[in-house]
Chain A
Amino acid sequence: MAKFKTPFLDELEKGPWPSFVTDIKRQAKTKPELEDLLGQVELSYKDKETHWKHGGIVGVFGYGGGVIGRYSDMPKEFPGVAHFHTVRVNQTGGFYYSTEYLGKIMDMWERRGSGLTNMHGSTGDMVLLGTTTDQLEEIFWELTHDMQTDLGGSGGNLRTPSCCLGMSRCEYSCIDAQAICQEMTMHYQDELHRPAFPYKFKIKVSGCANDCVAAIARSDCAIIGTWKDNIRIDKSAVAAYVNGELKSNAGAHAGRDWGKFDIVKEVVNLCPTGCMSYDGKELTIDDKECTRCMHCINTMPRALRPGVDKGATLLCGAKAPILEGQRLATVIVPFVKTEGTFEEIKEVINKLLDWWMEHGKNRERIGELIGRMGMREMLKATGLPPVPQMVKEPRSNPYIFWEESEVPGGWTRDLAAFRKKHPL
């Protein structure tokens, strides 16, 4: 027998999409605090307002992040969720799990938490929703000792780096996105667990320009795989696409009759640089002019593959609109090889962090700092060479902040001599 009547939420048990209400109701049979959660959410549906209080600082000793305090504003009515803190557990690269490992986390979370999760949070962590303050150290102990894993980031720190599934199961991936993500996560453990930044800093790694982890939209430092040499062409497979033996775009459009595959219309003419041609027999690519958008490769994956001189483009400064407006990440290093322990990438990140920690205001993301102080200052501080790949177009105003050292004779001048020549 349910503790609360939930007529609003019951409506969400209808329909074909998996119902979180049905799911929570079932879990509530063994986790009675979820009855209170259902009660409180039902009240929110009635009130059209949330019933969670603002924050509250809780955590585990020695860490400044990874746990987010959460309290009900109606603890008497819903005592089971009076304290309902979130624990962020660092996900594995590419979100792969064995059931043995995942099962241990689930068992722990059933014992020490509400039994409710997010798989996964927006940044990438496995999010465990709802526990009490007295459980936090116990949870941390079990995570580190019994599951050999760790908490993720929150607050003004490095947020848990995240990646696509990379080379593990994707033929497009130009870089080992998981290896880069893992190395950055391990290298910056201190920055991840102990907030010392003006605000959050996110690192995301995508294997190719399709960018399945949304690095270019969501990360302060985006690492996106690319290549420098020529797209590899399998001529017989091109012919097979043209003849209709192979399905375009790996069959992604199979649900509708779009007519016969037309390589000129669907590939050549959609190339953003116009660097492809097809003479009725052979597909040719002027690779020097290619900007590696991935369209032709996505459309004919069995005929075309990325080149072999692979590496990453680094971009910086993406964020959602809050606060100074939305930003996509912008190119700061057009190409870097991704080898060994990725020292070249770390060097760039270290310089970005140093500059941002020195100049960033409270709650100012690095993209906003670049907006406020200009690319000029960022490039000066990081020593990155200015290259045309960084801009869509050069500036259209001449208001250049020349430095004294750059101007012949410097800025110290003799006013008397000036006025002798040009009387007032």
Chain B
Amino acid sequence: MAYDPKNPMKDRITDIGPRHYKEFMPPVIKKNFGKWLYHEILEPGVLMHKAESGDEVYTVRIGASRLMSVELIRDAMKIADKHCGGYIRWTTRNNMELMVDDKSKLQPLIDDIKKNPMFPIGGTGAGVTSIIHTQGWVHCHTPAIDASGIVKSVMDELFEYFQSMKLPAQVRVAMACCLNMCGAVHCSDIAILGFHRKPPFVQHEVISKICELPLAIAACPTGAIKPATVDGHKSVSVNGERCMFCGNCYTMCPAMPLMDAEGDCVVIMMGGKISNRISAPKFSKVVIPALPSNPPRWPEVVAAVKNILEVYAKNANKYERIGEWAERIGWERVFEKCNIPFNVKTIDDYTLAYNTLRTTTQFKFT
């Protein structure tokens, strides 16, 4: 039985949802489901979970570029078949995990993983794990910058922190190639964000044919887009002074592209977190409003990220996330310690701006 294009609805199956996760759990995981006692990180990238039954499961975490070929996934599957009973999983941060149910099986697994340079072991504990990121130039129509290339460049530089656990706490780096933030960089310890800086073009001669003008107008959060007739074409005008370059108009209307090699830049944010541990989750804050986007290795971005990471590593207390460290010493001190020039553009002037202004005489001189 196969798909019949002449009769597309014949024997059609819909709305069955995903396969049930219990089908795909290694036996030791299934057996001890909900009965885990504790875990230990034996070395960077290697975990041991102990169950009430006395069973142990050993996990090896492998860093991955989330962009993976079928061939590379098959390489991992071969190791899973040889050592792990044919099971593999991914983490919420794009790492792969291979599990064995006995300590004697661990070293042979590690040895085989290490044979493949595409499979670095690490990403546990007080270190840097894989960067959550977006598509960039490989597959997206709105990016201001690439994603995979910047992630590769940054991770090459932070690699020692992927394979060690010497930071005060875990550092979660995320990157998004435009303001849509598919990478959810808004709550990360360090965030890399692509940003447009030129208002959209308006292709007056086609816009009314390919876009719903009221939707394009309504898409603008600052009211910068107004209806206009230009050279006899029903179109819109854009007030560049009110544009905050969010790209929402382009999402609604292909006749309003923003991207521009000269204008597009990289924003660096820091101090966000998701975990509720000790302090509440926090948003990332903009500390560097614009760095040049310089492919193929984005040296300015890599240097900025490494600088923040290393100043934090040197100065923060044990358990302190970047945002907690920043709040303890004060953001004025963060700019000083990281040697980042403070800029009017790092003062918020959007919807929630007032919440970020200093309403006390308590501050530090820098």
Are the C-beta atoms of B18 and A92 separated by less than 8 Å? yes
Interface size on A, residues (CB 8 A): 132
Known pairs A45-B295, A54-B250, A92-B24; A211 contacts B149 (CB<8 A)? no
Contact B152 A169, beta carbon cutoff 8 Å: no
Q: Distance (Å) between the CB of B152 and the closest chain A CB?
A: 5
Is B25 a contact of A96 with CB atoms below 8 Å? yes
Asked whether any CB of chain B lies closer than 8 Å to the CB of A286, the reply is: no
CB-CB under 8 A for A256 and B166, given A12-B153, A96-B89, A102-B77: yes
Contact partner, A93, options B18, B135, B181, Cβ 8 Å = B18
Please name all residues of chain A whose beta carbon is closer than 8 Å to the beta carbon of B99 when the two chains form the complex: 169
Chain B 331-361 residues near chain A, CB threshold 8 A: 350-352
Closest residue of chain A to B182, judged by CB? Answer: A122
State the CA gap A8–B146 with chains docked (Å): 12
A182 to B21, CA, bound (A): 8
* A86/B139 contact (C-beta < 8 A), A45-B296, A320-B180, A323-B221 known: yes
A-side contacts of B254, CB under 8 Å: 53-55
Enumerate B287-304 residues with CB–CB distance to A below 8 Å: 293, 295-297
B241 surroundings in chain A (CB, below 8 A):
none
Contact status of A270 and B319, CB under 8 A, knowing A18-B119, A96-B24, A169-B29: yes
A120 to B91: give the CA distance in the assembly, Å.
9
Counting CB contacts under 8 A, is A231 at the interface?
Answer: no
Flag A161-196 by CB within 8 Å of B: 1 or 0 each: 010110111110100101000100110011001000
Quick check: which of A136-144, A333-341, A342-350, A379-387 contacts chain B, the rest being far away?
A136-144
- A181–B152 Cα distance when bound, in Å, is 32
Partner of B49, one of A51, A91, A149, A169: A169
- Asked if A213 meets B41 with Cβ closer than 8 Å, knowing A170-B36, A182-B18, A185-B17, the reply is no
Q: Is the CB of A45 within 8 A of B149?
A: yes
Contact with A along B320-335 (1 / 0, CB 8 A): 0000000000000000
Binds A, one of B107-115, B232-240, B270-278: B270-278
Return the chain B residue nearest A246 by Cβ.
B40
Q: How many A-B pairs fall under 8 Å by CB?
A: 396
Does A11 contact B296, Cβ atoms closer than 8 Å?
A: yes
Contact A122 B275 (CB under 8 A): no
Residues of A within 8 A of B139 (CB): 52, 70, 84, 86, 129-130
Closest to B256 in A: A54
Chain A positions 250 through 274: 1 when the CB is less than 8 Å from some CB of chain B, otherwise 0: 1111111010000000100010100
Known contacts A41-B138, A144-B16, A185-B18, A249 near B125 by CB under 8 Å:
yes
Stretch among A295-303, A352-360, A396-404, A412-420 lining the B interface: A295-303
Could you say which residues of chain A place their CB within 8 Å of the CB of B18?
90-93, 149-150, 182, 185
Contact check: which of B153, B176, B351 meets A324 at CB < 8 Å?
Answer: B351
> Apart from A169-B29, A293-B278, what are 9 other A-B pairs with CB-CB below 8 Å?
A17-B120, A96-B29, A98-B24, A117-B67, A120-B94, A145-B11, A254-B41, A256-B126, A361-B218
Shortest beta-carbon contacts, A-B, top 5? A252-B125, A15-B156, A54-B254, A255-B166, A48-B261
8 A/B residue pairs, CB under 8 Å, sorted by A: A95-B91, A122-B132, A169-B99, A252-B165, A252-B170, A254-B165, A295-B277, A295-B319
Task: Give the A-binding residues of B (Cβ under 8 A).
Answer: 1-3, 5, 8-9, 11-21, 23-25, 29, 33-34, 36-44, 49, 57, 59, 63-74, 77, 80-81, 86-92, 94, 96, 99, 117-120, 124-127, 132, 134-143, 146, 148-149, 151-153, 155-156, 159, 162, 164-167, 170, 176, 179-187, 215, 218-219, 221, 246, 248, 250, 252, 254, 257, 259-261, 264, 274-279, 281, 283, 293, 295-297, 318-319, 350-352
